[in-house]
Amino acid sequence: MALLYGLLWRFLLLLVHVNRALVSWLRVRLRSWKGRLWERAVAALLLPLALAGFPDQQKKLNRNPDANANPVTGKRTANRRSRWLSDGRSLEKLPVHIGLLVAEEELSYTDIANLVVWCMAVGISYVSVYDHHGIFRKNNSRMLEEIVRQQQDLLGVEGSKCNVEFLTNGTDEHQRHVVSCRPTVKVLSPEDGKQSIVQAAQQICRSVENKERSSQDISVSMLDILLRESKNIPDPELVVKFGPVDSTLGFLPWHIRLTEFISLPSHRNVSYEDLLGALQQYGTCQQRLGQ
């Protein structure tokens, strides 16, 4: 009998422990449920206020598109621009006008666009792009689109606001342009070389024939003035030639009397360091200027 009472007592104690555990569990669940219910109630009250302020925030973002930009990408772009500008300032001398002469059969618009943007980034004011067959000129829209794309990728939004001009038949014609700023890009072809000299000579001959000028007025300086009026750009101080051909291939023959030429193996897969090396080489060269 005593054994039976002992087992009954233990069974009752077990029921008490189970009851206490069940009550504790129910209390925790009830508190959690009340907490979620309270959070939902607060969220329901605050949601209209949040939605009311959203249009103002959206207007701010629309006024400042860069606010949505990736901060890491923006910082990387700013660092690159700062480095390139610093490189340009560190050079002993920087050309005002640089020519990119491509003496290769296979042309890469992306690589040439990268070179153009890098030249802009270091502080060069005029960049001329030339190939012997005039392919870049014939496809000037594609050339322009690639330059603008690379400006945006490498320099960011602000860097894409640079004027791009194309020469057509020896005259300046703005076929398409972005918001004007200092750097100017000109795409040249053989027509802008020897052909421009022929056109200037014909103009002088017509003026003599029409008795607007006399034959004694004809001089080198007169021809020089006519050619510079048609191009409206300074002479290139540096031309970087890409390819194995040792020739200027008709690149502005009248304007390169004092130009320094530096050769690189190819414009394809060219790097910024390749361009910087050419600029550094130009910065250390001594130009006698006819002396």
Whichever domain contains 143, its CATH number is: 3.40.1180.10
In a domain, 185, yes or no: yes
Domain range for residue 235? 94-284
In a domain, 209, yes or no: yes
The reported pLDDT for the residue numbered 151 is 86
User: Which residues, 6+ apart, have CB-to-CB distance to 93 below 8 Å?
Assistant: 282, 283
In a domain, 187, yes or no: yes
The reported pLDDT for the residue numbered 214 is 79
- Render each residue's pLDDT in the chain as its tens digit; 291 residues: 677 777 777 777 777 667 776 666 666 565 555 555 555 554 455 445 444 444 554 444 445 444 444 555 667 777 888 888 899 999 989 999 999 999 999 999 999 999 999 999 999 999 999 999 999 999 988 998 999 898 888 877 555 555 555 544 444 444 443 333 467 888 988 887 777 777 777 778 888 778 787 777 777 777 777 766 655 678 899 999 999 988 888 898 888 888 999 999 999 999 999 999 999 999 988 776 655
In a domain, 119, yes or no: yes
In a domain, 154, yes or no: yes
Do 241 and 99 contact (CB within 8 A), yes or no?
no
Residues, the chain: 291
Do 113 and 149 contact (CB within 8 A), yes or no?
yes
Among 137, 143, 177, 172, smallest CA distance to 160 is for 177
In a domain, 86, yes or no: no
Beta-carbon count within 10 A of 207 CB: 16
Q: Which residue has the tokens 């480095």?
A: 83
Do 66 and 157 contact (CB within 8 A), yes or no?
yes
Please state whether the predicted TM-score (pTM) of the whole model is above 0.85.
Answer: no
The reported pLDDT for the residue numbered 271 is 95
In a domain, 195, yes or no: yes
In a domain, 249, yes or no: yes
How many domains, in total, are found in the chain? 1
Q: What is the rounded distance in angstroms from the CA atom of residue 143 to the CA atom of residue 137?
A: 8
